[in-house]
Amino acid sequence: MKIEQFEDKSLSHYAYAILSDCEKQVVLIDPARDIAPYLDFAKANEAKIIGVIETHPHADFVSSHLELHQNLGATIYCSKLVDAAYPHQTFDDGDVIAFGKIKLKAINTPGHSPDSISVILEHEGKDHAVFTGDTLFIGDCGRPDLRENAGNITAKREELAAQMYRSLREKLMVLADDVLVYPAHGAGTLCGKALSDANSSTIYAEKQSNWSLQKMTEEQFVKALIEDQPFVPKYFSFDVGLNKKGAPGLASSIQKVQLLKPEDLINLEENTVIIDTRPASQFKSGHLPYSINLMENGKFETWLGSIISPEEKFYLTAENETVLQKMIKRTAKIGYETLIKAAFVSNFGAIKTALLDIENFKKETSNYQIVDIRNPNEVAEHPIFQNSLKIPLPELRERANEIPTEKPIVVHCAGGYRSAAGSSILENQLAQNVTVYDLGNAVNEF
């Protein structure tokens, strides 16, 4: 028996392959959009992928369960509460998938969502591991506020938080101390708030160190879980719906993205956002109108789905063909490839971004309107400029008109990635009235 963990760092996502050596069969849990790594794993082990388990309809990424079923004939398993629109077999309390010396046992663990399940792996008659989806993380548990307006079953966050309290204590903490814990996410995900950098743990270790498993009343737990949760990106409810239906195959969907040649760019539709993925220095030296600088490094998918709503079409551009294809594929991780109006390579543009004189800014910060686009919890933990206007990046496009334009504007985040996007947003919306600067990574000097 072998457990293989697959990590997508940009989405802080873990998928799993469980291999029966004797039967040469594989069952996947919470697979990402791109099926290539799973096919490679199966091929390397001369095995066949026979099943795919969805622990819940994911909000933060698009799963490949339907493509794996259509291409390989793999059976999809999920809770009956999902009311899935794709071909599937229900997998709830008491249900078992047996192959080789392995038994995968479903337990319903609502809390993150009403239809969440966890999967216990029994090997040779002994519980060996539990795959907890977005229920139990390393150091934390799943947030309860993503299904108030999404999915087949909706529920208030207080109700789901109470269900989480019981799921953790009645379903997971009762497992043997040496059972390994494999979650669907690690540190950096927006599906929780205080995750560890570790990619696995044990029930015993979590009992000792995970705040959500400590002794407290249900009321205390609900209050602690609900407070200070991170923002909800615009794309989360869209992905829940797409995963409930089942996404089309990655390759076929990407092939539908229209690619433009340089001579076609004169026909770009005005007032349509261009997502420019080039490095900030290249972007600032020249870019096209209506461009937002969302660089390829960093958590591109999360910020794309936080800035652009699922109802909005956009252009996508990159510095060369190789990067462009990579960024189309990354866009598809959250199901946004269908929103790409067209994609093209671009290294030019008539609009140049003004560069901030850092030394002058340090001397006279009061001469500038400073806009802090970090998240509220970041601002509370580490204030930087006392008189800054605080508007989180996901809200910036909608709230730009709140920013006074009597002084030049300086945009900052925590390290420079988000401020590149934020300053370009304000440049689009306010440049006729005021100069917009990006503090970039110089924020580290303050």
Choose the final residue of a domain: 241, 262, 280.
241
pLDDT at 241: 95
Choose the final residue of a domain: 218, 241, 264.
241
Whether residues 322 and 374 share a domain: the answer is no
The Cα 318–Cα 369 span in angstroms is: 31
pLDDT at 150: 64
pLDDT at 432: 85
pLDDT at 66 over 70: yes
Tell me, yes or no, whether 332 lies in a domain.
yes
* CA angle, residues 116, 246, 342, in degrees to nearest 5: 125
Whether residues 329 and 229 share a domain: the answer is no
Whether residues 285 and 412 share a domain: the answer is no
Structure tokens at 262: 């340089």
pLDDT at 154 over 80: no
Pair type for strands 102-108 and 314-318 = unpaired
Q: Residues 242, 219: contact at Cβ < 8 Å?
A: no
The Cα 8–Cα 334 span in angstroms is: 13
pLDDT at 193: 58
pLDDT at 401 over 90: yes
Banded pLDDT at 71 (limits 50, 70, 90) = very high
Q: Which residues pair with 28 in a beta bridge?
A: 17, 52
pLDDT at 262 over 90: no
Segment 420-438 shows an average pLDDT of 94
Tell me, yes or no, whether 232 lies in a domain.
yes
Domain span at residue 133 reads 2-241
Banded pLDDT at 282 (limits 50, 70, 90) = very high
Q: Residues 184, 116: contact at Cβ < 8 Å?
A: no
* Domain harbouring 318, CATH code: 3.40.250.10
pLDDT at 42: 98
Residue 323: partners with Cβ closer than 8 Å, 6 or more residues away: 277, 296
pLDDT at 402: 96
- Select, from the ranges 40-54, 222-236, 354-368, the one with the highest average predicted confidence (pLDDT): 40-54
pLDDT at 194: 63
The Cα 242–Cα 258 span in angstroms is: 22
Cα atoms in the Cβ-side hemisphere of radius 13 Å centred on 16:
26
pLDDT at 398: 96
pLDDT at 145: 87
Q: Residues 68, 62: contact at Cβ < 8 Å?
A: no
pLDDT tens, residue by residue, 8-37: 999 999 999 999 999 999 999 999 999 999
pTM listed for this prediction = 0.93
Q: Residues 327, 303: contact at Cβ < 8 Å?
A: no
Whether residues 335 and 391 share a domain: the answer is no
Q: At what angle do helices 218-226 and 157-167 cross, to 10 degrees?
A: 120
Structure tokens at 27: 């069952």
Structure letter (DSSP) for residue 141: B
Determine if residue 23 is left, alpha or beta; phi over 0 gives left, psi from -120 to 50 gives alpha, anything else beta: alpha
Tell me, yes or no, whether 254 lies in a domain.
yes
CB neighbour class for 360 (10 Å; exposed up to 12, middle 13-18, buried from 19) = exposed
pLDDT at 186: 87
User: What's the whole-number average pLDDT of the chain?
Assistant: 94
Whether residues 254 and 230 share a domain: the answer is no
pLDDT tens, residue by residue, 170-205: 999 999 999 999 999 987 777 665 666 789 999 999
Whether residues 74 and 141 share a domain: the answer is yes
Whether residues 174 and 308 share a domain: the answer is no
Whether residues 406 and 438 share a domain: the answer is yes
Segment 293-313 shows an average pLDDT of 96
Banded pLDDT at 263 (limits 50, 70, 90) = confident
Residue 54: partners with Cβ closer than 8 Å, 6 or more residues away: 30, 63, 65, 76, 77, 78, 82, 84, 243
Nearest to 139 by CA among 197, 210, 198, 208: 210
Task: Please provide residue 208's backbone torsions phi and psi, each rounded to the nearest 5 degrees.
Answer: -80, -35
Whether residues 40 and 175 share a domain: the answer is yes
pLDDT tens, residue by residue, 332-346: 999 999 999 999 999
pLDDT at 212: 96
CA-atom Rg of the chain in angstroms = 23
Banded pLDDT at 114 (limits 50, 70, 90) = very high
Tell me, yes or no, whether 401 lies in a domain.
yes
Whether residues 41 and 134 share a domain: the answer is yes
pLDDT at 298: 85
pLDDT at 192: 67
pLDDT at 431: 80
Whether residues 369 and 301 share a domain: the answer is no
